Amino acid sequence: MANGDQEHHLAFPKLNVSEVDILARLASVCEFEDGATIFKAGQRGVSFYVVESGEIAIVDESGDEPKTIVVHGPREFTGDVSLLTDRPAVISGYARGNCRAYCVSPDDLRRVIQEIPDLSDKLLEAFQTRRFLLEHSGFVGVRVFGSLSDPELTVIREFFDKNKVPHTWIDVDVPEGHDAMTALGVAPDQLPFVSCNRGTRSPRPTVTRLAECLGLKRKIRDEPFDLVIVGAGPAGLAAAVYGASEGLATIVLDRFGPGGQAGTSSRIENYMGFPAGLTGADLANRGYLQALKFGAELVAPVEVRSMSCEDKVHRLVLDDGQVVKGRTVLVATGASYQRLPIADSERWDGAGIYYSCTSVHARSCRSGRAAVVGGGNSAGQAAMFLAEHTAGATLLLRGGNLRKSMSDYLARRIEQHEKIEVLRHVEVEAIHGDRTLTGLRLRNGDGYRELECSAVFVFIGAQPHTGWLPPSVVVDSKGFILTGANAAHSDHWPLKDREPCTVETTCPGVFAAGDVRSGTTKRVAFAVGDGALAVTCAHRVLAEL
């Protein structure tokens, strides 16, 4: 079977009679006349439909003209990943002929996915493959107008990529983009400009405004959760999967979207079970859907402003004013790479200097060379990725040992790659450029050298996201959270009848996992293990309440 035929088969399978019977027992029967609207793009809480008779046409209305994507006949079904993420539909559905269908509510669909493995596998495979095919079909989705040199555009596109929002970037620096901008009545001072799929227009939007525009924001319940997870990187997502699958009422809060720092990695090859490797975004998306499958909730973008504990319930105050209550809390906020310590470097953030490396960033320098600052795996993976998508990459090391912080397999590939240059014992002294970045001045011992490049990718140091934590959660001298034995020996552990769990902080019932925890190894597998261990610790604490 050709690859395209195989993808189509996975995306649009027929249900067998017993599978239809299972769904029919949970469903109400809906009847639609020819041409009737069954659901519209932008509609939230859309039901899952299984066709009994007639047909349902799935239509892309995001472009200039409606386009029929597929027509579902008897024993075929509607829906994609939006049904799991509780986000508005990105396409519309219309009856063809007199249509009769089984209508399954989103809650009942989640029950099926959690409780009936074979049917769950078929539906999940179809939902994910459908979204992949849609994104590669010329689907317009949300329109984003902006210039590649605008850092605000970079933030918007990163947000869309991380949250798997189908979108089309329209470059206003080329004639076609300028014409499209004029046709929509977009003024230059409104850039970057987003035209959402529900007809909403957003000039120069913040991430919060984008979430509202796209219908991603929602109200969080008032009742306490068993486990509140702050951060949706590998540690947080792993905890969400294990917590929800073990029956804990679990919610994940993130200030941007699923993936964390690992989600920006261009390729991860040393994570067990994926011998061919995968992108950080793909790993994060798999973990996100897996957590949703078991009933976890994920809310983004939200930022936790403060946390306190009252009557053994932790209260987390969010930037939008909502309060989330949790019997236990996992801090998995990770760490960010330090800013390049060069005067005036801030002006280039998102417009020549980047602190992650995805296809969004690589486009900024596709016709020139890229410089990568750092010696860890993230820097090595970025250099490899950029070497394939630009004219070449130069890796800048402060020391002389490429293998000090980098895996040996990656170091060997970099040394053998004809488009990667490694410069040792160098530091960035100055940045050159006017409207666009053109190069760097490097310090090498007592001398200097110039390096031509059109973008710089920085992966040095790490700053933990712990500024919002209360004093009861003690951190080390660098801001990383003390846990386990370190927490017990810090003179801040308040309980006399038990020691803290391995990942428990100095505040009982509050755990830390992944890069934010003091003394950890900065690897995805380590973070995942931390997240799983945190759930075990949460069970112990919950049993004491």
Q: Give the span between the Cα atoms of 511 and 507, in whole angstroms.
A: 8
The pTM assigned to this predicted structure is 0.91
Please tell me the chain's helix, strand, coil percentages from 3-state DSSP, rounded to the nearest 5: 30, 25, 40
Domains by residue range for the chain, with CATH: 3-135 (2.60.120.10), 142-213 (3.40.30.10), 225-336+462-544 (3.50.50.60), 345-458 (3.50.50.60)
Query: How confident is the prediction for the chain on average, in pLDDT?
Result: 91
**H or E stretch covering 315:** strand 313-318
How many residues are present in the chain?
A: 545
Give the per-residue pLDDT at 1: 44
Phi-psi region of 185 (alpha: psi -120 to 50; beta: other; left: phi over 0): left
One pLDDT digit (tens) per residue for the chain, 545 residues: 446 677 888 999 999 999 999 999 999 999 999 999 999 998 988 999 999 999 999 999 988 889 999 999 999 999 999 998 888 899 999 999 999 999 999 999 999 999 999 999 999 999 999 998 998 888 888 999 998 888 899 889 889 888 888 899 999 999 999 999 998 889 999 999 998 865 678 899 998 888 888 878 888 999 999 999 999 999 999 999 999 999 999 999 999 889 887 777 777 888 888 888 888 888 889 999 999 999 999 999 999 999 998 878 999 999 999 999 999 999 999 998 888 988 888 889 888 999 888 777 777 787 889 999 999 998 999 999 999 999 999 999 999 999 998 999 999 999 999 999 999 999 999 999 988 899 999 998 888 999 999 999 999 988 999 999 999 999 999 999 999 999 999 889 999 999 999 999 999 999 999 999 998 887 899 999 999 999 999 999 999 88
Tell me the three state secondary structure of residue 353: strand
Quick check: 77 and 49 in contact, CB under 8 A?
yes
Q: What is the DSSP letter of 199?
A: S
DSSP H helices in 87-233: 106-115, 117-135, 151-162, 175-183, 207-213
Within 13 A of 518's CA, how many CA atoms are on the CB side?
21
Q: Give the span between the Cα atoms of 186 and 166, in whole angstroms.
A: 21
Closest Cα partner for 534 from 292, 235, 233, 252? 235
Give the per-residue pLDDT at 3: 61
∠ CA 455-460-465, nearest 5°, is 110
Give the per-residue pLDDT at 446: 80
Query: Which contacts of 269-275 are long-range, i.e. CB under 8 A and separated by 24 or more positions?
Result: 269/409, 269/410, 270/377, 270/407, 270/409, 271/524, 271/525, 272/525
456 forms beta bridges with 353, 371
Omega into 224 within 30° of 0, i.e. cis?
Answer: no
- 125's tokens: 């495979």
- 157's tokens: 């596109």
Instruction: Convert 475-490 to b/e letters by CB count within 10 Å (16 or more is b).
Output: beeebbbbbbebbbee
Which residues have CB under 8 Å from 245's CB, separation 6+?
294
CA 136 from chain centre, in angstroms, equals: 19
Amino acid residing at 487 = A
Q: Give the span between the Cα atoms of 174 and 238, in whole angstroms.
A: 43
- 389's tokens: 């998508």
Q: Give the span between the Cα atoms of 385 and 266, in whole angstroms.
A: 6
Amino acid residing at 211 = A
Give the per-residue pLDDT at 198: 57
Q: Give the span between the Cα atoms of 90 and 142, in whole angstroms.
A: 9
Within 13 A of 239's CA, how many CA atoms are on the CB side?
38
State the chain's maximal CA–CA distance in angstroms: 81
**H or E stretch covering 489:** none
Quick check: 115 and 65 in contact, CB under 8 A?
no
- 182's tokens: 């004029």
Quick check: 324 and 318 in contact, CB under 8 A?
yes
Q: Give the span between the Cα atoms of 54 and 48, in whole angstroms.
A: 16
- 252's tokens: 């994940």
Q: Give the span between the Cα atoms of 437 and 441, in whole angstroms.
A: 12
Query: DSSP string covering 1-69, please?
Result: --HHHHHHHHHSPPPPHHHHHHHHHH-EEEEE-TT-EEE-TT-SSPPEEEEEEEEEEEEE-SSSS-EEE
Quick check: 529 and 330 in contact, CB under 8 A?
no
How many beta carbons lie within 10 A of that of residue 523, not counting itself? 18
CA 11 from chain centre, in angstroms, equals: 23
Sort 404 into a burial class: Cβ within 10 Å, 0-12 / 13-18 / 19+: exposed
- The label of the residue with tokens 């009994």 reads 52
Give the per-residue pLDDT at 272: 85
Q: Give the span between the Cα atoms of 121 and 127, in whole angstroms.
A: 10
- The label of the residue with tokens 């053109």 reads 438
Sort 67 into a burial class: Cβ within 10 Å, 0-12 / 13-18 / 19+: middle
Query: DSSP string covering 113-138, please?
Result: HHH-HHHHHHHHHHHHHHHHHHHTTT
Omega into 66 within 30° of 0, i.e. cis?
Answer: no
Q: Give the span between the Cα atoms of 12 and 122, in whole angstroms.
A: 10
